[in-house]
Amino acid sequence: MPPDFSRPLKNRDRLVFPLDLPDLESALKYVSLLKDEVGFFKVGLELFTALGPDFLKRLKDLAPERGIFLDLKLHDIPQTVGRAARAAARLEADILTVHAQGGEKMLQSARENAGKTLILGVTLLTSLNAEDMAEIAPELRSGARYPLFMARRALSCGLGGVVASPLELATFREELGKEAVIAVPGLRPLWARVKGDDQVRVASPAAALSAGATLLVVGRPIRDADDPVLAARKTVEELDEALLDPR
């Protein structure tokens, strides 16, 4: 069974590995390598489009103790999103993402149809910066105001939490309370350097954990390492050491 968010989590169980891979062979390789090293496998648009729902069933069989984080960022009319959420629940996805920008009716439809699947609202893509925000919502000139507005909307519609960049994390935790699940992408361990990085709002997993993150999404530093298993373990060790640091 995946981690129970109502109980304290081990740092390994907080770690989410995104299967941002083009084909079945590559995905199975990393599932085999990391099924004892992470808490969740995240399946995004690329892999889900390439392999379809059957891959989730296979993933469940291969790593039954790990959670499935279905990161589809749904954004459509309420009825369509509700039906998609119902389908995700039938596939036993533990987490499903939707865009908080979809409006209250869409968010409520997702929640009402999701069964036991936890719905997280995506507030703002981590690839966007302040200049992008000025184009999207010029009336919200502060970069933090728009994501926070979306996060509040998501929780007011009954969602279990949000996806947030490290830069909004501390504010989100204070505003949303301790029960909300906050998943944080765009994390780079202190030991890792990623060439050509397109994530502009990043932090270390330890910093995110200290600021109140529930789930820590670490992809390329693990995927592109010479030894992905060692990289995952180093990431967890970094988290453990941060908790022991008295500073």
* Residues 228 and 34 sit within 8 Å (Cβ to Cβ): yes
pLDDT of residue 158: 95
- pLDDT band of residue 142 (cuts 50, 70, 90) is low
From 218, 244, 234, select the one nearest 39 (Cα to Cα). 218
pLDDT of residue 235: 95
Tally Cβ neighbours within 10 Å of residue 26.
Answer: 14
Count Cα atoms within 13 angstroms, Cβ side, for 67: 25
Map out the domains of the chain as residue ranges.
Answer: 11-236
Taking the CA atoms of 127, 101, 142 and 180 in sequence, report the sign of the dihedral they define. Answer: negative
Q: Is 75 exposed, middle or buried (0-12, 13-18, 19+ CB in 10 A)?
A: middle
What digits encode the pLDDT tens for the residues 20-33? 998 999 999 999 99
Does CATH number 3.20.20.70 belong to domain 11-236?
yes
Which token pair is 131? 């200049």
Least confident stretch, 150-154, 169-173, 186-190: 186-190
Per-residue pLDDT for 128 more than 60? Answer: no
Count Cα atoms within 13 angstroms, Cβ side, for 55: 25
Q: Quick one: what percent of the chain has pLDDT higher than 90? A: 72
Q: Is 6 exposed, middle or buried (0-12, 13-18, 19+ CB in 10 A)?
A: exposed
Least confident stretch, 59-68, 123-132, 185-194, 216-225: 123-132
Q: Is 73 in the active site? A: yes
Query: Residues 29, 57, 60, 73: which is the catalytic one?
Result: 73
Which token pair is 142? 């502060």
pLDDT of residue 246: 41
